[in-house]
Amino acid sequence: MFDSKEFIEKSIKEIRKTVGENKVISACSGGVDSTVATVLVHKALGKNAVAVFIDDGLRREGEPEFVVKTLTNIGIRNRFVDAKKEFFEVFKGKVDAEEKRKAFRDKFYKKFGEVSKEEKIGFITQGTIKADIMETVGGIKSQHNVLEQIGINPESYGYKILEPLKELFKPEVRKVARELGLPKEISERMPFPGPALSLRVLGEVTAEKIAIVRKATQIVEEETKELGVFQAFAVLHNDKATGIKKGKRVYGNIVTIRIVDSQDAVTARASQVNYEILKCICSRITTEIATVVRCLYDITDKPPATIEFE
């Protein structure tokens, strides 16, 4: 049986031993994994740790404000870095899922390289968990936060990496979050991928497409918040379809709604969501987002699909 209290004590000791007198940045996206990693590092190192949130322009509605507020409320020193323009720049002309993922990963670590120079730190902490490593090493996809395991030396970006959660799966991370006394909105938070909405725009990622998927995601989340599902989100297709808006034929966007039940993200089932809820989501998406003419519901389990489309 996993003992979260024991894990926290052991982890704090290990962080202190590894880091010594160095300063550490904790890359915090606001998800349960990176927030737990951030709190552990903060507990271990106090003012030698600073949490950094990079706004890559790919986050959900209200997310940047939520992360800064949460960290501040917990009493963790934090820094907000606006890098929206730079991130959209690296996606230009990229349509392949793995190419986009790699572009995101490279920009992400380079940006942290810049911040680490400014903060004069030696380590970056991130919330990588065991499932991320398993899937990357297993060749399913290159999770953005897995480097050393696929032969990339993080020191090429100018720092060492600390991954206090790399032996844990999601349910254990949640136990640690509860033991640390984190608010429910963190400990029970729906998983959200590091490359964020970029995985949910098929084809080239642009600010305009992200705005569409951000709004659709907000609607899906609002309409499913009572369901207790593992993940619920929207995906914007790279194709168009015919529809009717204001009595006229339009060639508009297609959005897929993905709602899955899972324990640890390694396998998942497409959730049997009440039809009325799906109809309501569809109706809101097609009326509140002017360019969307069609909503689909994905009924594929993992495997053979993955949870994300990219």
Residue ranges binding ligand XMP (CB under 6 A): 101, 135, 140-141, 143-145, 191, 193-195, 199, 231, 265, 302, 306-308
Kindly give, in sequence order, each residue whose CB lies less than 8 Å from that of residue 50, ignoring residues fewer than 6 positions away: 23, 24, 25, 26, 77, 78, 79, 119, 121
CB-nearer residue toward ligand XMP: 52 or 307: 307
**Omega prior to 183 cis, within 30 of 0:** no
What span, in angstroms and rounded, lies between the C-alpha atoms of 169 and 276? 33
In whole angstroms, how close is the CB of 144 to ligand XMP at the nearest point?
4
CB-nearer residue toward ligand XMP: 164 or 194: 194
CB-nearer residue toward ligand XMP: 141 or 269: 141
**Sheet strand arrangement including 24-27:** 78-82, 49-55, 24-27, 123-125, 160-162
In whole angstroms, how close is the CB of 300 to ligand XMP at the nearest point?
11
In whole angstroms, how close is the CB of 218 to ligand XMP at the nearest point?
17
In whole angstroms, how close is the CB of 127 to ligand XMP at the nearest point?
8
Kindly give, in sequence order, each residue whose CB lies less than 8 Å from that of residue 151, ignoring residues fewer than 6 positions away: none
> What pairs with residue 8 in β-bridges?
none
Strand-pair category, 24-27 with 123-125:
parallel
> What pairs with residue 257 in β-bridges?
234, 297
In whole angstroms, how close is the CB of 5 to ligand XMP at the nearest point?
26
CB-nearer residue toward ligand XMP: 131 or 278: 131
CB-nearer residue toward ligand XMP: 114 or 308: 308
